[in-house]
Structure 1
Amino acid sequence: MRTVLSAATVAVFTVTAVPPGAAAAQTGATGVRVTGVERISVATDGTQANGHSVDASITPDGHRVVFTSSAGNLIPGGTTAARRVYLRDRQAGQTTRLGTEEPLKPPGISGDGGFVGYPVQWMRGEMIRLHRISTGASIGHSCTAYNCEMSVGADGLRLAYSVRFRPPEPNQRIEVIDWASNNTYTIDIIHNTQPSRPSLSDDAYHLAYQDGGEQDVFVWDRTNGTPAGPIEGPARAATLVQLSDDGSKVVYLSGPDTFVYDTGSGTTQSVPNVRGVAIDPTGRYLLHAPSGTAGPSSLTLRDLQTGTDETVSAQPASAGIDAVSAGGRDVVFQSEAEDIVPGDTNGRTDVFLRSFH
């Protein structure tokens, strides 16, 4: 599909400033977007968590959020203080626990909200536990190694994960499993001992991944079965952030800047002096933090078409990939701040949702 991938830089955005902490209205791409915030890490009856809650991901429609928590009071009769995976259904106002195993990595939720997956310890390696929300049933799929990194497709029937072998074996591979067709596709990463997290498009036909050893980012096209890249060019070290759900954009970091690669045109958009955190499913809205920060900081949502910024959190906060719903309507993040919503007295890290409508 693409034989040569370019990293040509295009014009830099001009940013429309938004007052920090604005809670009533902000100027967005189509005029004024009203903003609100809610706490996600609560029990069904609204009880605040008595443990730390982190690692949130949201569905493209914004209806479901999955996160991990060490709270023991998010479900009736819950007593464990170990980390577990929870699902918050915003439409139903319900919080449920998914399984009884401790997740080794942040959970991922399918685009349709029907499946949640995460790696767990299994014998001498790791296994991916995939939960079907509608029935409560789950299946396990062995990674055959350790330090698995995974990405879930739109309907949960397609899954990508990295396989990292134990030293002294230097090689890795990424596998894309398609339970619908009963096929598995393998991408070998030679002489690489660094983690290589995959990022899978909703249709599972595109996959972005990083060769951690070479610090290069590649895009794999299922139609021809070969990876293309590095997309950042030979003279730049890069770190993968995320492939948008529609497969149109790849976000990566290089130096103090963020870059957004267009898989269709092969062009690259430069977003200087920010650290990209996540991108919405359509590839238009970029969640970012100040460049040079690694821990909690302010979070901002940028419209890549207009260059306008909207404040997600003026207080120190952090977020992961899949933190933004389609159209930049909702953003999930975690923060220890106690003044984001009224009545936050638990003294714990909570998961919040900022909405723009």
Structure 2
Amino acid sequence: MRAMRILLTTTVTAAVVLAAAPPAAAKWATTTRVSVSTTGFQSNDRSDDPAISADGRYVTFDSDASNLVPDDTNGVSDIFVRDRITGTTTRVSVSTTGDQANQFSRASAISADGRYVTYQSLATNLVPDDTNDEIDVFVRDRATGTTSRVSVSTNEYQANHYSELPAMSADGRYITYHSLATNLVPNDTNSAYDVFVRDQINGTTRRVSVSTAGDQGDGDSFDPAISADGRYVSYTSGASNLVPDDTNGDLTDVFVWDRTTGTTRRISVSTTGNQGDNSSFTSVLSADGGYVSYASDASNLVADDSNDATDIFVWNRATGTTRRISVSTTGNQGDNVSRSPAISASGRYVTYQSLATNLVPDDTNGVTDILVQDRITGTTRRVSVSTSGNQANQHSEFPAISADGRYISYQSPATNLVPDDTNGVTDIFVRNRGGF
């Protein structure tokens, strides 16, 4: 599970009331479990943190299970890819020669076509000369079967501190991550987490959590996301010197760096430009970077935000407007926290997890659900349900969404989303929203 993500605290009651039938628009929708072996065996340990390819065919996730592929004997979390078309499951956190990792691997991301998978790992045997004894970022080329280390300097020096939470451009060329290392770029003297981008083609590493003038941040910057073309990188930061007039103290804000212009902009502000009165975090971008979705505890980003709960927002680059997404179809604000957004390529669909009970009808399970809003029609629907429409009997978290918004993957320990779910652990599911 991604280390910097902020988890919802959920209390699961013993009895859960089942939901009514799904709306007619979702009548072709199905829910399947993907954290299974090629032969269909359910996992014997938990699986977490899914990512999904642009067309929804490939789903990557980390798992402590030892029975998803043959010869998994390392006793640690690995990264797997499920091909939903062929029904095969493969392990990708291995060396170029096929050796399994000697330490845990987590937090994967996948390229648009599913060829490249990036992830973090403490393993020392995935690439030669890995002697720093730190969590590094790696990338697996599934076409060539090669594994390389990403978290190195332009001169190929390995990082002197850990690197985590990678995200990847659509073609796999650009990989962004945060790191506490001080030797990835020159003049890194702030003793803070910074955000870096590795260009896999040119072999360069660049720090992007800097001001437009190039000043390094005076606070931690972390949890980056990247646009499809690699131009824009969004991230969370507690730094106060990345943009002018950042005076909201120790609160975290969401920033966007533009590779083309070299500028840094704070986007977790209201439409009128007011900075948030509480922290904002966990950002994601649409394919062209035109929309940025994020979670925030702030109450002054939109009018009439009075629920005293974390909400999901979307910033529109073209108009400079900020809109709250975690509302019901009728516009009611959530009565509990919403977090962990993901956004479709066009920015039309935003999915997120929520503990709110009033965003969709018949939400009586008292646990975190996965919801999706259509920003064009304004409708909000729940996707963490079974094919027959039954609501989950356990919490569902950390959604990922395909480019067109049709497929949404998430993790859940629920036992009633698919038949024969008897392993008693968190699994990875995919909701095919059919006719949307």
- Whether the aligned pair in 2 keeps the contact of 1:174 and 1:186 (CA below 8 Å) is yes
- Whether the aligned pair in 2 keeps the contact of 1:280 and 1:325 (CA below 8 Å) is yes
Residue among 203, 208, 218 paired with 2:255 = 218
* Structure 1 residue 93 displacement after superposition: 1.0
Q: Are positions 1:179 and 2:200 aligned together?
A: yes
Q: Are positions 1:128 and 2:103 aligned together?
A: no
Paired with 1:103 and 1:80, the residues of 2 have a C-alpha distance of 9
Residue among 116, 129, 141 paired with 2:150 = 141
Find the counterpart in structure 1 of residue 346 from structure 2: 282
Paired with 1:308 and 1:181, the residues of 2 have a C-alpha distance of 43
Paired with 1:183 and 1:165, the residues of 2 have a C-alpha distance of 16
Aligned ranges for residues 1-357 of structure 1 at < 5 Å?
A: 21=19, 26-28=23-25, 34-98=28-92, 99=94, 100-101=100-101, 102-121=103-122, 123-142=132-151, 144=159, 145-165=161-181, 170-187=191-208, 188=210, 189-193=216-220, 196-213=222-239, 214-232=251-269, 233-236=274-277, 237-255=279-297, 256=309, 257-271=311-325, 272-273=333-334, 275-277=338-340, 278-290=342-354, 297-313=368-384, 314-315=391-392, 316-320=394-398, 323-357=400-434
Q: TM-score, normalised by structure 1?
A: 0.84
* Structure 1 residue 296 displacement after superposition: 5.8
RMSD: 2.6
Paired with 1:333 and 1:312, the residues of 2 have a C-alpha distance of 10
Q: Report the secondary structure of 2:89's partner residue.
A: strand
Paired letter, 2:83: D
Distance 1:20 1:276, change over 3 A: farther
Paired with 1:115 and 1:74, the residues of 2 have a C-alpha distance of 20
Find the counterpart in structure 2 of residue 11 from structure 1: none
- Whether the aligned pair in 1 keeps the contact of 2:166 and 2:176 (CA below 8 Å) is yes
- Whether the aligned pair in 2 keeps the contact of 1:70 and 1:80 (CA below 8 Å) is no
Report how many aligned residue pairs link the two structures: 331
* Structure 1 residue 288 displacement after superposition: 2.5
Q: Report the secondary structure of 2:29's partner residue.
A: strand
* Structure 1 residue 210 displacement after superposition: 1.2
Q: TM-score, normalised by structure 2?
A: 0.70
Distance 1:146 1:290, change over 3 A: same
Paired letter, 1:218: F
Deviations 1:269-326 (A, max 9, x none): 1234361422222211111233579x961221111111212221232333336x1112
Paired letter, 1:284: R
- Whether the aligned pair in 2 keeps the contact of 1:241 and 1:276 (CA below 8 Å) is no
Distance 1:289 1:175, change over 3 A: closer
- Whether the aligned pair in 2 keeps the contact of 1:68 and 1:84 (CA below 8 Å) is yes
Distance 1:246 1:34, change over 3 A: farther
Paired with 1:266 and 1:79, the residues of 2 have a C-alpha distance of 52
Paired with 1:172 and 1:85, the residues of 2 have a C-alpha distance of 25
Paired letter, 1:299: I
Once the two structures are overlaid, the 10-residue window that deviates more, 151-160 or 137-146, is 137-146
Distance 1:244 1:319, change over 3 A: farther
Deviations 1:8-45 (A, max 9, x none): xxxxxxxxxxx97566x5355xxx55211111011111
- Whether the aligned pair in 2 keeps the contact of 1:297 and 1:318 (CA below 8 Å) is yes
Paired with 1:350 and 1:244, the residues of 2 have a C-alpha distance of 27
- Whether the aligned pair in 1 keeps the contact of 2:53 and 2:111 (CA below 8 Å) is yes
Paired with 1:93 and 1:112, the residues of 2 have a C-alpha distance of 17
Paired with 1:66 and 1:285, the residues of 2 have a C-alpha distance of 21
Deviations 1:207-240 (A, max 9, x none): 1111135411111111111211244242433123
Larger radius of gyration: 2
Identity, % of aligned pairs? 32
Q: Report the secondary structure of 2:421's partner residue.
A: coil
Paired with 1:33 and 1:301, the residues of 2 have a C-alpha distance of 16
Higher relative contact order (CA 8 A, sep 6+): 1
Instruction: Write 1 or 2 for the structure with the bigger share of strand.
Output: 1
Q: Report the secondary structure of 2:404's partner residue.
A: helix
Paired with 1:63 and 1:150, the residues of 2 have a C-alpha distance of 21
Paired letter, 2:381: E
Paired with 1:243 and 1:282, the residues of 2 have a C-alpha distance of 10
Distance 1:263 1:43, change over 3 A: same
Paired with 2:318 and 2:18, the residues of 1 have a C-alpha distance of 35
Q: Report the secondary structure of 1:125's partner residue.
A: coil
* Structure 1 residue 245 displacement after superposition: 3.0
Paired letter, 1:192: G
* Structure 1 residue 113 displacement after superposition: 0.9
